[in-house]
Amino acid sequence: MESIWLKDVSFQKRSPLHRDLKSDVVIIGAGITGLLTAYLLKEKGIRAVILEADRICGGQTKGTTAKITSQHHLIYGRLIRSYGEEMARHYAALNEWAIREYERIIAEKEISCDFVKCPANLYSCMEAEPLQKEAEAAKKVGIHAEFKTECELPFSVKGILEFRDQARFHPLKFLSEIAKEAEIYEETPVLKVEHHSPGNNFVITRNGIVSAGKVIFACHFPFVNVPGYYFARMYQERSYVIALENAMELRGCYLGIDRDGYSFRQEGEFLLLGGGSHRTGDNRQGGKYQMLRDEAGKLWPKCREAAYWSAQDCMTLDGIPYIGPFDKKADDWYAATGFGKWGMTSAMAGAGILTAALEGKEMKEADIFSPRRKISRMAVKEFAVNGGVTAGNLAKQLLSVKRTVTGEAEGRPFEVSVKCPHLGCKLSWNHDECTWECPCHGSRFHSGGELADGPAQKGIGV
């Protein structure tokens, strides 16, 4: 089922690319990151062409819960421990700037997108201490944070951590206006990107080549394996949302820090209840939507479900996005990926970082986001764990006798390969969504084998 964001918004259809072009910048991906980057670049007089494999906002952007916040779980204490207070302050400052930048653009363009300033809150039903420690860490890096013991949620909590002056909005109402000013080519998948010399890059599609001085990968998960090696530095997670009518009305946004904690957020007459996160490819038993429905029934027995949907997020080893130069071997390429579950502020922060970089300006706050940063000890451990998962699933594929699967799903027969075309891992079945998923790097395929999400670039039908 589609998210509520798609119910009352449509984007002007753009034609595919059918000729060669030249541009200052090519942006791969017309989701929120690509659109915001193109918008800020245009403000600076830099021409950007966006190439989109599907439709505008047809990927992960349409599945967001659209919280505009600098409160990214218990991140500030972890950042201070791993990278020091100054770097943590840079992270906070850029995300706070992102909130204000949304407000600026919405006001200047008079965009009607249900933008509401509201507090963002972390809560725990188990213990208060982690929230108290995070409150102190947030204050150290310049965020107005307050620990509380009472809130508007319909159950008791041990503690609440509130960040004031955060926001929520309707992302597609906002982006449908932003997209009007962008040069976008839909249904134009990129086949290859070539770096020939400084300022001389070719982005190759089926029906045209775009030459540009700079290339930005804003396509969720970079599909180029080498250079960059992003496949070894990230994995993907899925999470689930249901929209409820006749539940309750919340002023703030909430996220539980306990295991199996829930997300709550108001959108007009709907209350959005989210949860059930898991590594992509690790939902063989299903039941994630039912878990949310059961919780909703306990909290609000008379509520009604209006919609349900899911989203996928790229998770980096240290929890910080990769935004900046793609790799030292491709100086003209830039990446914006690994936003975790915080795509709204990360996308705007990414657009700001990339725009400054393409203007030739230094931004000290960008260092913490650099894809070339030296990762922390904690991230090194995560690298080992992630590598173990990948190695294990590669071994399963190599040892597997069954290389294809036949059956029926969603009322139609299928025959598919269970080998991921990206790097060869064995796929698993997600019962909640009737999709084949790669537990190594997160590629997804519809039941009939059609590609749903990258980094793979082709389907698995046989």
Running DSSP on this structure, what letter comes out for residue 358?
H
Q: What is the pLDDT of residue 386?
A: 53
Residues 50-63 have a mean pLDDT of 96
Closest CA to 363 of 350, 372, 374, 373: 350
Quick one: pLDDT band at residue 380, thresholds 50, 70, 90? Answer: low
Percent of the chain with pLDDT over 90: 82
pLDDT greater than 60 at residue 364: yes
Domains and their CATH numbers in the chain: 4-64+173-232+319-375 (3.50.50.60), 388-453 (2.102.10.10)
When mean pLDDT is compared across 24-33, 267-276, 443-452, the lowest value belongs to 443-452
pLDDT of residue 399: 46
Question: DSSP secondary structure string, 122-191?
Answer: EEESS-SHHHHHHHHHHHHTT--EEEES--SSSS--SEEEEEEEEEE--HHHHHHHHHTTSEEE-S--EE
Residue 394 has pLDDT above 50, yes or no: no
Q: Determine the Cα–Cα distance for residues 411 and 368; give it in Å rounded to an integer.
A: 48
Look at residue 242 and tell me whether its pLDDT is greater than 90. Answer: yes
Checking if the pLDDT of 382 tops 90, the result is no
* Selection from 36, 100, 30, 95 nearest residue 320 by Cα: 95
Whole-number pLDDT of residue 385: 54
Asked, as a colleague might, if the bond just before 227 is cis with ω within 30 of 0, I would say yes
Q: DSSP assignment, residue 419?
A: B
| The pLDDT value given to residue 398 | 47
List all residues 6 or more positions away from 93 whose beta carbon is below 8 Å from its beta carbon: 141, 142, 365
What's the mean pLDDT when you consider all of the chain?
A: 92
Residues 6+ away with beta carbon under 8 Å from 48? 23, 24, 25, 26, 27, 37, 38, 41, 42, 182, 183, 216
Q: What gap in Å lies between CA 196 and CA 203, rounded to an integer? A: 11
* Mean local confidence (pLDDT), 144-166: 96
Chain centroid to Cα 444, Å, comes to: 15
pTM over 0.75: yes
Using the predicted structure, report yes or no on whether residue 408 has a pLDDT greater than 70. Answer: no
Confirm if 140 and 97 have CB atoms less than 8 A apart: no
Segment 3-13 mean pLDDT: 92
**Given this model, what pLDDT does residue 448 score?**
87
- List pLDDT tens digits, range 97-153: 999 999 999 999 999 999 999 999 999 999 999 999 999 999 999 999 999 999 999
Per residue in 168-181, pLDDT tens?
A: 999 999 999 999 99
The CB density around residue 207, as the number of other CB atoms within 10 Å, is 11
To which residue do tokens 């670039």 refer?
457
Residue 384 has pLDDT above 60, yes or no: no
Backbone angles phi, psi at 188, to 5 degrees: -130, 75
For the ranges 100-109, 227-236, 345-354, 414-423, the lowest mean pLDDT is seen at 414-423
Q: Is the pLDDT confidence value at 59 over 50?
A: yes
Tell me the percentage of the chain whose pLDDT exceeds 70. 91
pLDDT one-digit tens code per residue, 255-309: 999 998 999 999 999 999 999 999 999 988 889 999 999 999 999 999 999 999 9
